[in-house]
Structure 1
Amino acid sequence: MKSFRQTQSALHTWTGLLVGWVLFLIFIAGTVSFWREETSRWMRPELSVTSEMRTPDDERRMVEGALAALAIRAPDATAWSISLPGPRGVGVQGVWTERSPPEEPRRPFRWPDATNSLWVDGDGQPVAVRETRGGDFWYRLHFDLHYMPVIWARWFVGFCSMVMLIAIVTGIITHKKIFREFFTFRPGKAQRSWLDGHNATAVLALPFHLMITYTGLVTLMSLYMPWGLLANFDDRAAAFAATQPNVPPAQYAATPVPMAPMGAMLDQARQTWGGVGPGSIRISNPGDASARVTMGRDLSHTILDDGEPLVFDGVTGVLLGKAPVTGAGTATRDAMVGIHAGRFSPISVRWLYFLSGLAGTVMVGTGLVMWTAKRREKLPNPARPHIGFRLVERLNVSAVAGLPLSMVTMLWANRLLPVGMEGRWHGEVNIMFIAWGLALAYAFLRPPKRGWVHLFGLTGAALVILPIFDQFSGQGMWQHLNHGDATRFWTDITFMALGLSLAAIAVKVHRHKPRIAPASVRAPKEAAMAVAGE
């Protein structure tokens, strides 16, 4: 009869494999998202940097510039939305929603593109910017996935996150000496080395793994467990209305009236929020007697994921409503969401988030590889594994080595696609998934060891060459330094460092010469090929 620890070991192994490839995507995309603003900044080189520090005067100039540009581009829109950059971003994005006739149904949401958005720089002047989702794509990818309905994706990601939580807890139970083994690494020992690496990355950031998984579930708790809300409200809409400013929406009056100066509303918002400026502004029915202005606080200054929205009359500038005082439950939930997203993080904490996320990504990847390494030795004929084993082995190559390559391919697409291309951000995303599909095909067509070496090597080379390409195209590291843009400079340095690391992994795998298991001495050539994956 198996002991409790043995049963937990089996649960840990099979839950990790069941959704391991999806968890790898969630971890790597979520880890990159900690530099979401920096990545977006790098992917929009047309936006100049006037200063790393934003003052209230800069904020007012950018907002007024965006309003003036929106009034020209979309004077008849039903709503304008303005997204202001945080301390790490540049440029202001203005988005409009076209007004549809009353008899038509409400138009579905669509992401901003060249047909419904514009950009202004730090001087408040409109600027032509390449159409890209930037770092926002990977942020949404890690919980919305892609090419599938959002609700289905969030249910699936929630299921995988719950399995991840089970895998972490059972891993703690299974490895009773895990903390001692954290200080032990035995290179060149095949399966033992993979287990040491898996244990080290798991223990190194264990509090982070528990926190990020649990708080990730909390962010969508009303979707996964709606019964608490439904016990107190008739539906989710009523619950949402109870947590927002209690200002009834104004009906479109079809009476043109100039809007009140935005500067006074910005000053009042800053005073209400203790000196913190807005991160978003939404204007419904702009230029009409029924205009309303809703401002949300910049979240980079607080751990709570609560914008504390303020609603102003767009014609008089009078404050109409504030967010109600939240209770302990709502504040706890907002704090957990804020901790998960890490928007409040200073640079040192953000690096800690990023490195911990990398450790989690490596933990999932090494766990997947260890599954095949451990079971190969038990196969009747390691040189001819069964189809299920070969499937897992190839999927490991395509996920762990192929996904990073596809992400780098998207960065190259950002540089190579024509700047004025219609539907450009769709092209970037499609190219990424095409590259991932090609990596999957390559993993199934070539021996596993060659797949690891070639995909990691290509990813490393692509990352190292990318900043060099930028340098020759006139928007490289030295140009960033000359323009005082330290963020883009260090982004290029990080790309090169990651590229060199992946290239080193490729060289290490290429030079590795596996030892033949004693049980396979009768067929040394076949055994060597099997262990090497050739």
Structure 2
Amino acid sequence: MKAGKAKAQGEEGLRQSMSWLHTWAGLIFGWVLFAMFLTGTLAFFRPEITSWMQPEIQARPTPAVQAVDLAQRYLNEHAPDAKRWFITPPSNREPLIQMLYQVAKPKPGERGFVRVKLDPVSGQAVTGRETRGGDFFYRFHFELETAFPWGRWLASIAGMFMLVAIISGIITHKKIFTDFFTFRPKKGGQRAWMDGHNVLSVLGLPFHLMITFSGLVLFMIMLMPAGIQAVYENPRQYTDEVFKSFKITPPLNQPAPLVQIAPLVAQAQDHWQGRVGRVTVNNPGDAGATVTLVRDAADGVSYGRLAPYMRFDGVTGAFQEGEDDLSATVQTAGVITGLHLGLFAEPLLRWFYFLVSLAGTGMVGTGLVLWIAKRRQKARPGDVREAFSLRLVDGLNAGTIAGVVFGVAAFFLANRLLPAEMPGRQVWEVRAFFSAWGLSLVYAFLFQRRKWQDLLAIAAASLALVPVVNAFTTSRHLGVSLPAGDWVMAGFDLTCLASAALFGWMARKAARARKAPAKASAKARAERPAAKTVSPQVAQAPAAQAASSHVVYEPRGDTP
């Protein structure tokens, strides 16, 4: 029995240690993680967001062979002396032909890359309003809009803390799966937030583990470079050996016409029985030119950089090398990376990614609020340091959870309200995002009592305004997009309305939570005169018994 008791005490001690680790690992980077999770969730629909933010561009995809032929004609005319061409054929999600080329003599301090989009029917360059579109959320998710490499390091450190928080949370909650089926929102306070946190955590637990671990694997080269440095003298050697499709072949400095790429694309697609996802041409117009074709990432889980490829001589069109059967190591790395990016996901699975990732965002948010709920119950009256830490964390919670959502809506509204021809408008869209977030943080600290109620209401109103403003500024509003089956535009507007409804409900709950303490205090004051009619001897015993049995907790603030 002693051994069993000692074992139980040891397990309980481990859980207590893990609970402390879980709490602080989640709190320290919690606000950064919330922003990373939300922007990463939106990035699953990166092409669709970009399409919504450039409503003047409408196109339908064409076969890859035809698209590559149009792209080669354009590049032969406009970039014959470029070092490299990158051509991405159109797809259902990105109907335009995407091109990128590197000029031979860039300006000082520039890499010299030029990006162009072509209409897949006419072959003419398409220019829409300047915007970063869905790429902003994609880049912010892992760079935090910070200079290279510091943003990636910060995001990676936050990811490490997230992984620690998830694993320690699993160890801490011995009834985690039982608690998943126990949700008591009417309880209020700490119990309701704990139930919500458990449900959101367990709902997508395998996904949360996968997405966090795979995110760290994406930056493995940056985080753990010692092995590469020990084997390779030049990091470029490692890149050429692992990412063979990106290998840069040297020029021979002898002019020679480039082979027609379209027949090579047809040959590769027949060989793979799948689509070509990217075409890379090294040294076009040179005798040392090569044409590399990579299989489309949507044809499999593995990411494009670690996907099957074929390389051809750029002058004769002769096959040089390729790889269909990837090694187990490469396949594993490619699948882990591909699972994180979700490029292979068809619409139904993509929405599943979106919803489970949204649950992960809620998991982080409820964890931050739960920290406040727990500390307020344990707070001692008159403890100045404790009161300051509670106000600080609660202000950061409200300013970030509601503020980032408000920032996303401001980003979309700026896209519609800024003049379409305004130079540098994509910069102002990003500034609108950070300005809304920053103002939310300021408001949260200036108006401590009303912050949750007001900021959640502002987030809801701004999201609801997005489809309204879209209706007044473009011809592709819900009245047109729904009957026409334009599901990119209609789906975007409907998602904004659904999100507005969710945050409106949260704002209402926050308003009720704010009024509850005042009602309780008023009720207590109303009952005091009646208490005088009771004799002291009769009242003393129950009062003493109540004081010894429990502590009455009066909620503070307006946390929903």
Q: Do they fold alike, i.e. is TM over 0.5?
A: yes
SS of the residue corresponding to residue 386 of structure 1 reads helix
SS of the residue corresponding to residue 450 of structure 2 reads helix
RMSD of aligned alpha carbons: 3.0
The corresponding residue for 1:265 is: 264
The corresponding residue for 2:556 is: 530
Distance in 2 separating the partners of 1:348 and 1:408: 25
The corresponding residue for 1:100 is: 105
Is 1:215–1:336's contact at 8 Å kept on the other side of the alignment? yes
Residue 66 of structure 1 pairs with residue 65 of structure 2: no
Q: 2:213 is matched by which residue type in structure 1?
A: Y
Is 2:95–2:120's contact at 8 Å kept on the other side of the alignment? yes
TM-score (norm 2): 0.84
SS of the residue corresponding to residue 363 of structure 1 reads helix
CA 1:83–1:245 in structure 2 vs 1: closer, same or farther (change >3 Å)?
Answer: closer
CA 1:484–1:120 in structure 2 vs 1: closer, same or farther (change >3 Å)?
Answer: farther
CA 1:129–1:382 in structure 2 vs 1: closer, same or farther (change >3 Å)?
Answer: farther
The corresponding residue for 1:463 is: 463
Question: Which sits farther off after the overlay, 505-514 or 76-85?
Answer: 76-85
The corresponding residue for 1:215 is: 214
**Structure 1 residue 245, shift from structure 2 partner:** 5.2
Residue 167 of structure 1 pairs with residue 165 of structure 2: yes
Q: Please tell me whether Structure 1 or Structure 2 has the larger radius of gyration of its CA atoms.
A: 2
Distance in 2 separating the partners of 1:205 and 1:224: 27
SS of the residue corresponding to residue 119 of structure 1 reads strand
**Structure 1 residue 366, shift from structure 2 partner:** 0.5
CA 1:45–1:260 in structure 2 vs 1: closer, same or farther (change >3 Å)?
Answer: same
**Structure 1 residue 485, shift from structure 2 partner:** 2.5
Is 2:452–2:558's contact at 8 Å kept on the other side of the alignment? no
Distance in 2 separating the partners of 1:441 and 1:239: 47
Residue 84 of structure 1 pairs with residue 89 of structure 2: yes
1:439-458 matches, within 5 Å, as: 439-447=440-448, 449-458=449-458
The corresponding residue for 2:48 is: 38
Distance in 1 separating the partners of 2:438 and 2:328: 47
**Structure 1 residue 227, shift from structure 2 partner:** 3.9
The corresponding residue for 2:195 is: 196
**Structure 1 residue 109, shift from structure 2 partner:** 4.3
Is 2:131–2:429's contact at 8 Å kept on the other side of the alignment? yes
The corresponding residue for 1:21 is: 31
Residue 480 of structure 1 pairs with residue 490 of structure 2: no
**Structure 1 residue 455, shift from structure 2 partner:** 2.0
**Structure 1 residue 143, shift from structure 2 partner:** 1.2
1:335-350 matches, within 5 Å, as: 335-350=335-350
**Match 1:121 to one of 104, 119, 122:** 119
Query: Can you list the C-alpha shifts for 1:321-380, whole angstroms capped at 9, x where unaligned?
Result: 324853211211111111111111122222221111111111100110111111122223
Residue 376 of structure 1 pairs with residue 376 of structure 2: yes
Q: Comparing both chains, which one has the higher relative contact order based on Cα–Cα distances under 8 Å and sequence gaps of 6 or more?
A: 1
**Structure 1 residue 240, shift from structure 2 partner:** 1.6
Residue 47 of structure 1 pairs with residue 57 of structure 2: yes
Distance in 2 separating the partners of 1:132 and 1:326: 38
SS of the residue corresponding to residue 117 of structure 1 reads strand
Residue 9 of structure 1 pairs with residue 19 of structure 2: yes
Question: Which sits farther off after the overlay, 350-359 or 462-471?
Answer: 462-471
Distance in 1 separating the partners of 2:195 and 2:290: 59
Is 2:298–2:345's contact at 8 Å kept on the other side of the alignment? yes
CA 1:209–1:24 in structure 2 vs 1: closer, same or farther (change >3 Å)?
Answer: same
1:105-254 matches, within 5 Å, as: 108-109=110-111, 116-123=114-121, 124-149=123-148, 151-188=149-186, 189-243=188-242, 244=244, 249-251=249-251, 253=253
1:329-478 matches, within 5 Å, as: 329-381=329-381, 386-447=387-448, 449-472=449-472, 473-478=474-479
Distance in 1 separating the partners of 2:191 and 2:517: 12
Q: 2:91 is matched by which residue type in structure 1?
A: G
CA 1:440–1:252 in structure 2 vs 1: closer, same or farther (change >3 Å)?
Answer: farther
Q: 2:104 is matched by which residue type in structure 1?
A: R
Q: 2:330 is matched by which residue type in structure 1?
A: T
**Structure 1 residue 126, shift from structure 2 partner:** 2.5
Is 1:90–1:122's contact at 8 Å kept on the other side of the alignment? yes
The alignment-based identity, stated in percent, is 38
Is 2:97–2:119's contact at 8 Å kept on the other side of the alignment? yes
CA 1:533–1:27 in structure 2 vs 1: closer, same or farther (change >3 Å)?
Answer: closer
Question: Which sits farther off after the overlay, 192-201 or 477-486?
Answer: 477-486
Question: Which sits farther off after the overlay, 411-420 or 163-172?
Answer: 411-420
Q: 1:81 is matched by which residue type in structure 2?
A: F
CA 1:299–1:507 in structure 2 vs 1: closer, same or farther (change >3 Å)?
Answer: same
Question: Which sits farther off after the overlay, 331-340 or 380-389?
Answer: 380-389
Is 2:450–2:558's contact at 8 Å kept on the other side of the alignment? no
CA 1:248–1:461 in structure 2 vs 1: closer, same or farther (change >3 Å)?
Answer: closer
CA 1:297–1:226 in structure 2 vs 1: closer, same or farther (change >3 Å)?
Answer: same
